[in-house]
């Protein structure tokens, strides 16, 4: 079974600065996907970024980028130019695609609570 | 598009009571999922469905039942509520073409069992 670990329960950052959230995972699979989800106080789960394990290039989405280290099984999220609206819980998640693609399931880490301070 | 909608938003149940959490999506997605999120934890998969009439267990299915009679609806049934089922429940859907890679979540139902 796969496990996802987020070792930082809480973090804070000043507005406009950069912060990195850590995530490690354990799997024997070679082909898989990794995700970062954001959960603001509204509780809505929002996909931030996705990384395919077979791609060496790190994914980026505007101010959000990842550092994917496959050998180390590490998948950190960097948020640049932090904004007050980035305040949220952030969850790292793992998905091993099934051969038939049916019902691919997400395995989530425990989350990191990020507070952006003005 | 309303996306994924869940009702109710909040509910308090007594031990042993039953209830159904409703989930509806209007995006014509084949795949639907039920997750639970315990306080301070990540989401865990309860059940999922790849289409009408097809359901399967996830990581934590005990104490729950599901059905999928239409593409749009995926209700979650709790038959004999227990305090351990106090949680926030999220429904999600995904288009088949993405193989579940793009999951759209509902706003959640907060359930307390006392």
Please tell me the predicted confidence (pLDDT) of residue A99. Answer: 64
Q: Token digits for B54? A: 């097809």
Confidence of residue A84 (pLDDT cuts 50, 70, 90): very high
Interface subset of B 20-59, CB within 8 angstroms of A: 31, 33, 40-45, 48-50, 56, 58-59
pLDDT bracket for residue B73 (50, 70, 90): very high
The pair of structure tokens assigned to A96 is 């091993």
Dihedral, CA atoms, B38, B39, B43, B48, nearest 10 degrees? 30
Residue contact B50–A108, C-beta within 8 A:
no
A100 pLDDT exceeds 80?
A: no
Residues of B in contact with A43 (CB under 8 A): 88, 107-108
Does the pLDDT of residue A59 top 70, yes or no? Answer: yes
Measured CA to CA, the distance from residue A2 to residue A25 in angstroms comes to 7
Which residues of chain A neighbour B44 with C-beta distances below 8 Å?
108
């Amino acid at each position: 079974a796969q496990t996802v670990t987020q070792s930082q329960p809480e973090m804070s950052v000043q507005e406009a600065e950069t912060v990195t959230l850590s995530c490690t995972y354990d799997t024997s699979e070679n082909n898989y996907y990794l995700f970062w989800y954001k959960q603001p106080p509204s509780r809505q789960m929002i996909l931030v970024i996705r990384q395919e394990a077979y791609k060496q290039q790190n994914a980026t989405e505007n101010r959000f980028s990842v550092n994917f280290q496959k050998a180390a099984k590490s998948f950190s999220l960097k948020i640049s130019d932090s904004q007050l609206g980035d305040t949220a819980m952030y969850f790292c998640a793992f998905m091993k695609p099934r051969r038939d693609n049916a019902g691919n399931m997400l395995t989530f880490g425990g989350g990191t609570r990020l507070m952006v301070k003005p | 598009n309303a996306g994924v909608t869940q009702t109710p938003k909040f509910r308090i149940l007594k031990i042993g009571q039953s209830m159904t959490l409703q989930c509806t999506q209007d995006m014509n997605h084949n795949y639907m999922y039920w997750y639970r999120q315990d306080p301070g934890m990540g989401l865990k998969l309860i059940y999922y469905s790849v289409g009408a009439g097809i359901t399967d267990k996830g990581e934590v299915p005990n104490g729950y039942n599901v059905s999928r009679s239409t593409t749009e609806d995926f209700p979650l049934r709790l038959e004999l509520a227990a305090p351990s089922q106090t949680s926030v429940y999220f429904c999600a859907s995904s288009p088949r073409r993405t193989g579940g890679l793009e999951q759209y979540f509902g706003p959640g139902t907060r359930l307390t069992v006392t």
